[in-house]
Chains A and B, each alone.
Chain A
Amino acid sequence: LAKTTQPISMDSYEGQEVNITCSHNNIATNDYITWYQQFPSQGPRFIIQGYKTKVTNEVASLFIPADRKSSTLSLPRVSLSDTAVYYCLVGAYNTDKLIFGTGTRLQVFP
Protein backbone atom coordinates (compact mmCIF):
# COMPACT_ATOMS: atom_id res chain seq x y z
CA LEU A 1 0.00 0.00 0.00
CA ALA A 2 1.37 3.39 -1.01
CA LYS A 3 2.45 5.65 1.82
CA THR A 4 1.50 9.30 1.81
CA THR A 5 3.33 12.37 3.11
CA GLN A 6 1.52 15.60 3.96
CA PRO A 7 2.45 18.77 5.83
CA ILE A 8 1.68 18.43 9.51
CA SER A 9 -0.12 21.77 9.72
CA MET A 10 -1.14 24.81 7.70
CA ASP A 11 -2.58 28.18 8.61
CA SER A 12 -4.84 30.34 6.48
CA TYR A 13 -7.26 33.24 6.71
CA GLU A 14 -10.90 33.39 5.83
CA GLY A 15 -11.57 33.93 2.15
CA GLN A 16 -8.23 32.58 0.98
CA GLU A 17 -7.70 29.55 -1.22
CA VAL A 18 -5.89 26.71 0.52
CA ASN A 19 -3.87 24.08 -1.29
CA ILE A 20 -2.75 20.99 0.59
CA THR A 21 -0.24 18.82 -1.21
CA CYS A 22 0.19 15.10 -0.65
CA SER A 23 3.16 13.07 -1.83
CA HIS A 24 2.67 9.42 -2.79
CA ASN A 25 5.75 8.34 -4.73
CA ASN A 26 4.92 4.63 -4.68
CA ILE A 27 1.35 4.87 -5.95
CA ALA A 28 0.25 1.77 -7.87
CA THR A 29 -1.41 1.72 -11.26
CA ASN A 30 -4.83 0.85 -9.86
CA ASP A 31 -4.67 3.18 -6.85
CA TYR A 32 -6.98 6.14 -6.42
CA ILE A 33 -6.37 9.23 -4.30
CA THR A 34 -8.99 10.08 -1.73
CA TRP A 35 -9.27 12.94 0.75
CA TYR A 36 -11.15 12.95 4.03
CA GLN A 37 -11.89 15.79 6.45
CA GLN A 38 -12.15 15.34 10.19
CA PHE A 39 -13.52 17.85 12.68
CA PRO A 40 -12.72 17.51 16.40
CA SER A 41 -14.77 14.83 18.14
CA GLN A 42 -16.22 13.61 14.84
CA GLY A 43 -15.51 10.82 12.43
CA PRO A 44 -13.83 11.56 9.08
CA ARG A 45 -15.97 12.75 6.18
CA PHE A 46 -15.32 11.89 2.54
CA ILE A 47 -14.42 14.97 0.49
CA ILE A 48 -13.23 13.92 -2.94
CA GLN A 49 -11.59 11.14 -4.91
CA GLY A 50 -9.69 11.07 -8.18
CA TYR A 51 -7.40 9.03 -10.41
CA LYS A 52 -5.76 11.57 -12.69
CA THR A 53 -5.97 15.18 -13.94
CA LYS A 54 -8.61 17.22 -12.14
CA VAL A 55 -11.74 16.43 -10.19
CA THR A 56 -14.09 19.05 -8.82
CA ASN A 57 -17.16 18.86 -6.63
CA GLU A 58 -19.15 21.35 -4.58
CA VAL A 59 -16.62 21.24 -1.75
CA ALA A 60 -13.14 21.04 -3.28
CA SER A 61 -10.94 20.36 -6.27
CA LEU A 62 -8.33 17.67 -6.60
CA PHE A 63 -5.37 18.14 -8.93
CA ILE A 64 -3.30 15.12 -9.94
CA PRO A 65 -0.29 15.50 -12.27
CA ALA A 66 0.46 13.02 -15.03
CA ASP A 67 3.01 11.05 -13.00
CA ARG A 68 0.48 10.73 -10.11
CA LYS A 69 3.27 10.88 -7.53
CA SER A 70 1.56 13.75 -5.77
CA SER A 71 -1.83 15.40 -5.53
CA THR A 72 -3.20 18.72 -4.32
CA LEU A 73 -6.45 19.32 -2.52
CA SER A 74 -7.72 22.83 -3.19
CA LEU A 75 -10.27 24.47 -0.92
CA PRO A 76 -11.63 27.71 -2.41
CA ARG A 77 -12.32 30.66 -0.13
CA VAL A 78 -12.02 28.88 3.19
CA SER A 79 -14.08 29.85 6.21
CA LEU A 80 -13.60 29.26 9.92
CA SER A 81 -15.68 26.10 9.60
CA ASP A 82 -13.02 24.56 7.35
CA THR A 83 -10.68 24.27 10.34
CA ALA A 84 -10.10 20.52 10.51
CA VAL A 85 -7.63 17.73 9.85
CA TYR A 86 -7.37 16.67 6.21
CA TYR A 87 -6.22 13.18 5.30
CA CYS A 88 -4.85 12.05 1.96
CA LEU A 89 -5.29 8.33 1.30
CA VAL A 90 -4.13 6.15 -1.55
CA GLY A 91 -5.66 2.80 -2.38
CA ALA A 92 -7.84 0.78 -4.68
CA TYR A 93 -11.03 2.38 -5.98
CA ASN A 94 -13.38 0.53 -3.69
CA THR A 95 -10.84 -0.57 -1.12
CA ASP A 96 -11.96 -2.32 2.02
CA LYS A 97 -8.99 -0.97 4.00
CA LEU A 98 -8.49 2.74 4.42
CA ILE A 99 -4.92 3.59 5.45
CA PHE A 100 -4.76 6.89 7.29
CA GLY A 101 -1.61 8.89 7.90
CA THR A 102 -1.41 11.67 10.47
CA GLY A 103 -3.07 14.20 8.17
CA THR A 104 -2.71 17.98 7.81
CA ARG A 105 -4.17 20.16 10.51
CA LEU A 106 -5.62 23.27 8.84
CA GLN A 107 -6.30 26.27 11.03
CA VAL A 108 -8.34 29.09 9.51
CA PHE A 109 -8.15 32.50 11.20
CA PRO A 110 -10.62 35.40 10.95
Chain B
Amino acid sequence: NAGVTQTPKFQVLKTGQSMTLQCAQDMNHEYMSWYRQDPGMGLRLIHYSVGAGITDQGEVPNGYNVSRSTTEDFPLRLLSAAPSQTSVYFCASKEWRLGSNYGYTFGSGTRLTVV
Protein backbone atom coordinates (compact mmCIF):
# COMPACT_ATOMS: atom_id res chain seq x y z
CA ASN B 1 0.00 0.00 0.00
CA ALA B 2 1.95 3.00 -1.31
CA GLY B 3 -0.66 5.66 -0.51
CA VAL B 4 -0.51 8.67 -2.84
CA THR B 5 2.37 8.67 -5.32
CA GLN B 6 3.40 11.78 -7.22
CA THR B 7 5.84 11.96 -10.11
CA PRO B 8 8.14 13.62 -10.84
CA LYS B 9 9.47 14.97 -7.53
CA PHE B 10 11.26 17.87 -9.24
CA GLN B 11 10.79 19.52 -12.63
CA VAL B 12 12.16 22.57 -14.40
CA LEU B 13 10.20 23.93 -17.35
CA LYS B 14 10.72 26.77 -19.75
CA THR B 15 7.98 29.33 -20.16
CA GLY B 16 5.41 28.10 -22.66
CA GLN B 17 6.19 24.41 -22.27
CA SER B 18 3.50 21.95 -21.29
CA MET B 19 3.73 18.98 -18.98
CA THR B 20 1.70 16.55 -16.91
CA LEU B 21 2.12 15.96 -13.21
CA GLN B 22 1.17 12.44 -12.30
CA CYS B 23 -0.76 11.34 -9.24
CA ALA B 24 -1.77 7.78 -8.38
CA GLN B 25 -3.35 6.27 -5.29
CA ASP B 26 -3.85 2.63 -4.37
CA MET B 27 -6.40 3.06 -1.57
CA ASN B 28 -9.47 2.96 -3.81
CA HIS B 29 -10.36 6.50 -2.73
CA GLU B 30 -13.16 8.09 -4.67
CA TYR B 31 -12.00 11.65 -4.06
CA MET B 32 -8.79 13.16 -5.41
CA SER B 33 -7.54 16.72 -5.65
CA TRP B 34 -4.61 18.94 -6.57
CA TYR B 35 -3.23 21.77 -4.46
CA ARG B 36 -0.40 24.21 -4.95
CA GLN B 37 1.69 25.70 -2.18
CA ASP B 38 3.70 28.86 -2.68
CA PRO B 39 6.55 29.78 -0.29
CA GLY B 40 5.31 30.67 3.20
CA MET B 41 1.71 30.09 2.21
CA GLY B 42 -0.97 27.56 2.85
CA LEU B 43 -2.19 25.19 0.17
CA ARG B 44 -4.69 26.34 -2.45
CA LEU B 45 -7.07 24.03 -4.28
CA ILE B 46 -6.64 23.81 -8.07
CA HIS B 47 -9.00 21.03 -9.20
CA TYR B 48 -10.73 18.11 -7.60
CA SER B 49 -12.66 14.98 -8.51
CA VAL B 50 -15.27 13.02 -6.56
CA GLY B 51 -15.04 10.00 -8.83
CA ALA B 52 -14.01 8.72 -12.24
CA GLY B 53 -15.36 10.93 -15.00
CA ILE B 54 -16.20 13.80 -12.61
CA THR B 55 -14.00 16.86 -12.10
CA ASP B 56 -14.55 20.38 -10.81
CA GLN B 57 -12.61 23.58 -10.32
CA GLY B 58 -11.10 24.77 -7.12
CA GLU B 59 -9.82 28.17 -6.04
CA VAL B 60 -7.04 28.61 -8.63
CA PRO B 61 -7.86 26.52 -11.74
CA ASN B 62 -6.60 28.83 -14.50
CA GLY B 63 -3.76 27.37 -16.55
CA TYR B 64 -4.41 23.81 -15.43
CA ASN B 65 -6.46 20.92 -16.81
CA VAL B 66 -7.43 17.64 -15.21
CA SER B 67 -9.23 14.44 -16.16
CA ARG B 68 -10.19 11.37 -14.17
CA SER B 69 -10.50 8.29 -16.36
CA THR B 70 -9.77 5.80 -13.56
CA THR B 71 -10.23 5.74 -9.80
CA GLU B 72 -6.48 5.42 -9.26
CA ASP B 73 -5.09 8.26 -11.39
CA PHE B 74 -5.62 12.01 -11.45
CA PRO B 75 -3.07 13.79 -13.68
CA LEU B 76 -2.65 17.56 -13.68
CA ARG B 77 -1.75 19.21 -16.98
CA LEU B 78 -0.04 22.54 -17.36
CA LEU B 79 -1.02 23.81 -20.78
CA SER B 80 1.55 26.58 -21.25
CA ALA B 81 3.80 27.00 -18.23
CA ALA B 82 4.32 30.47 -16.77
CA PRO B 83 6.73 31.64 -14.03
CA SER B 84 3.69 32.30 -11.81
CA GLN B 85 3.13 28.54 -11.76
CA THR B 86 6.42 27.96 -9.97
CA SER B 87 5.26 26.19 -6.83
CA VAL B 88 5.06 22.90 -4.98
CA TYR B 89 2.14 20.79 -6.11
CA PHE B 90 0.42 18.31 -3.84
CA CYS B 91 -2.04 15.63 -4.77
CA ALA B 92 -4.47 14.36 -2.14
CA SER B 93 -7.07 11.62 -1.94
CA LYS B 94 -9.86 10.83 0.48
CA GLU B 95 -12.32 8.12 1.21
CA TRP B 96 -15.83 9.28 0.39
CA ARG B 97 -18.07 6.90 2.30
CA LEU B 98 -20.81 8.44 4.39
CA GLY B 99 -19.77 8.62 8.00
CA SER B 100 -16.07 8.10 7.40
CA ASN B 101 -13.52 10.78 7.92
CA TYR B 102 -9.88 9.86 8.30
CA GLY B 103 -8.80 13.02 6.63
CA TYR B 104 -7.01 13.56 3.39
CA THR B 105 -3.90 11.59 2.40
CA PHE B 106 -1.38 13.80 0.66
CA GLY B 107 1.46 12.87 -1.63
CA SER B 108 5.00 14.10 -1.04
CA GLY B 109 4.74 16.82 -3.67
CA THR B 110 6.22 17.89 -6.99
CA ARG B 111 8.47 20.93 -6.89
CA LEU B 112 8.03 22.79 -10.19
CA THR B 113 10.16 25.69 -11.38
CA VAL B 114 9.25 27.63 -14.51
CA VAL B 115 12.04 29.75 -15.96
Residues of A within 8 A of B (CB): 34, 36, 41-47, 49, 87, 93-94, 96-103
Contact = CB atoms under 8 A, between A and B. Distances in A.
Interface of B: 4, 31, 33, 35, 40-45, 48, 50, 56, 58-59, 90, 92, 96, 98, 100-109
Contact of B108 (A43, A46, A93, A100): A43
Given A49-B101, A94-B96, A103-B42, A43 B50 contact: no
Residue in B4, B43, B44, B92 with the greatest tally of chain A CB atoms within 10 Å: B43
A61 to B, nearest CB: 16
Given A43-B90, A43-B107, A43-B108, A98 B101 contact: no
Contacts of A94: 96, 98, 100-101
A100 B45 CA distance: 9
A44 B40 contact: no
B45 A98 contact: yes
Contacts of B58: 97
Contacts of B108: 41-43
A100 B36 CA distance: 11
Contacts of B101: 49, 93-94
B103 A43 contact: no
Contacts of B40: 102
Contacts of A36: 103-104
Given A43-B108, A46-B102, A49-B103, 5 more contacts: A36-B103, A96-B31, A96-B33, A97-B45, A100-B44
Contacts of B35: 98, 100
A94 B106 CA distance: 16
B42 A34 contact: no
